[in-house]
C-alpha cells in the first residue's frame, strides 16, 4: 500500500504556479507546465514539444507535433494535477490516495480523466527559432464542468461550530482577509507566505499568545460547512493580489468586513488564522455567517511574481 501511494504522489512547489517536468511521461520530448491562475479560476496546461525539422518540412513537422501534444495532453494534465494543493494537509494526489474505498478513488479518477479531455486550446505558438511548438490547454475550476464540482461530496451544509451571543457589530456584505505579508506559522518558529488551495479552512485564535497549544486554535469554517452550489460556482473563497476592492466588488459587496490575518495553519500553509474578535463579528449574526457559507470571502495574498521579503 505504501509503495502504491508513494508512486501516486509527487512532490510539489508551494506557490501559485506549479511547475512539473516529468521525464518518464515526456519520453525525452514533451515538456509540461501546469499554471494555476487562482485569481481567475483557471488551470492552464502548457505543453512544449520540439519540431522535427531535420526529418520533414516545417508544415508537416508542426502538424505532427500538434497531433502528439493533443494526444498526450490529458495524461500530462492528470499527472500534473496531483501536485496541486487540495487543503492544509493534502495535495490532490494525496487526497485521492487517502480515500478509504477503492470505489471512491476509481470514481474520482474517472471523473478527472473525463475532465482532462475537455481542455480548450487557447494558444499555439512556434518559438522564434522554429524549433519548438508550445500549446496551452485551458480548464476551469468553477461551474458544473469545473474541477471544484468533482471534489464536492457533501449535499447539505454542516453547522458552524458555535454562535456567540450579542457582540457589537453590524451586517456586512462580504469578508476580505488580508494575507499579503509572511505570517506566523502555527507550531513553528518562523513566518511563511499564505498558499492558496482548493479547500482552505479558516481558524480563529482564542488567545493573545500565538506560541500556544492546539486548544487555543478553534475551527471557524471548513468547506463542508459551505453551500456546495456556491463552492462549485466560485470556490470556498476567492483569491486576489489586489487591495482594490472594486476588483472583487461582485463577491464581497461595498461594505465588507476587513480582517488582517493573524497567522497560517497546517503543513501546506493554506489555512488562515484570524483574531477571535473578527470571528465574533461573523458568528454573532446569521447574515454574516451566511457570507462564509456562500463563499463571499476574498483572500488578498502575495503575488508570486512580486514576492514579499
For 78, the domain range is 2-151
Q: Which residue(s) pair with 45 in the sheet?
A: 34, 137
13 shares its domain with 57 = yes
Find where cell 464536492 sits. Answer: 152
Find where cell 461551474 sits. Answer: 143
126 shares its domain with 47 = yes
pLDDT tens digit sequence for 200-223: 999 998 765 555 445 578 899 999
85-94, 127-136, 153-162, 187-196: segment of lowest average pLDDT:
153-162
Residue 159's pLDDT is: 86
Residue 290 in any domain: the answer is yes
Residue 209's pLDDT is: 56
146 shares its domain with 182 = no
123 shares its domain with 206 = no
Residue 182 in any domain: the answer is yes
How many structural domains is the chain composed of? 2
* Alpha helices, DSSP H, located in 45-155: 58-81, 92-98, 102-116, 147-151
Burial level of 64, CB count in 10 A (0-12/13-18/19+)? Answer: middle
pLDDT tens digit sequence for 278-303: 999 998 889 999 999 999 999 999 98
Residue 106 in any domain: the answer is yes
141 shares its domain with 201 = no
**SS3 (DSSP) at 124:** strand
142 shares its domain with 218 = no
pLDDT over 70 (residue 25):
no
> Longest Cα pair distance anywhere in the chain, in angstroms?
77
Residue 167 in any domain: the answer is no
96 shares its domain with 16 = yes
Residue 97 in any domain: the answer is yes
**SS3 (DSSP) at 272:** strand
Residue 170 in any domain: the answer is no
Amino acid at each position: 500500500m505504501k509503495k502504491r501511494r508513494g508512486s501516486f504522489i509527487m512532490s510539489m512547489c508551494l506557490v501559485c504556479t506549479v511547475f512539473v517536468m516529468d521525464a518518464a511521461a515526456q519520453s525525452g520530448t514533451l515538456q509540461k507546465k501546469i499554471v494555476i491562475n487562482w485569481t481567475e479560476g483557471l488551470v492552464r496546461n502548457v505543453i512544449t514539444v520540439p519540431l522535427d525539422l531535420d526529418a520533414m518540412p516545417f508544415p508537416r513537422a508542426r502538424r505532427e507535433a500538434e497531433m502528439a501534444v493533443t494526444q498526450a495532453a490529458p495524461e500530462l494534465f492528470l499527472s500534473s494535477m496531483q501536485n496541486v494543493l487540495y487543503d492544509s494537509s493534502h495535495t490532490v494526489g494525496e487526497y485521492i490516495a487517502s480515500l478509504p474505498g477503492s470505489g471512491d478513488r476509481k470514481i474520482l479518477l474517472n471523473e478527472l480523466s473525463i475532465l482532462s479531455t475537455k481542455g480548450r486550446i487557447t494558444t499555439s505558438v512556434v518559438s522564434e527559432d522554429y524549433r519548438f511548438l508550445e500549446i496551452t490547454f485551458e480548464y476551469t475550476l468553477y461551474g458544473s464542468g469545473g474541477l471544484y464540482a468533482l471534489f464536492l461530496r457533501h449535499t447539505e451544509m454542516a453547522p458552524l461550530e458555535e454562535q456567540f451571543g450579542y457582540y457589537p457589530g453590524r451586517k456586512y456584505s462580504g469578508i476580505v482577509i488580508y494575507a499579503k505579508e509572511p505570517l506566523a506559522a502555527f507550531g513553528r518558529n518562523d513566518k511563511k507566505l499564505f498558499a492558496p488551495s482548493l479547500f482552505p479552512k479558516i481558524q480563529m485564535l482564542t488567545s493573545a499568545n500565538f506560541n500556544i497549544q492546539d486548544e487555543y486554535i478553534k475551527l471557524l469554517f471548513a468547506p463542508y460547512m459551505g453551500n456546495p452550489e456556491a463552492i462549485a460556482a466560485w470556490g470556498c473563497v476567492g483569491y486576489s493580489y489586489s487591495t482594490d476592492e472594486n476588483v472583487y466588488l461582485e463577491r464581497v459587496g461595498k461594505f465588507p468586513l476587513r480582517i488582517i490575518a493573524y497567522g497560517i495553519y497546517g503543513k501546506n500553509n493554506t489555512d488562515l488564522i484570524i483574531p477571535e474578535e473578527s470571528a465574533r463579528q461573523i458568528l454573532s449574526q446569521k447574515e454574516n455567517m451566511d457570507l462564509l457559507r456562500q463563499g463571499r470571502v476574498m483572500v488578498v495574498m502575495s503575488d508570486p511574481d512580486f514576492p514579499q521579503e
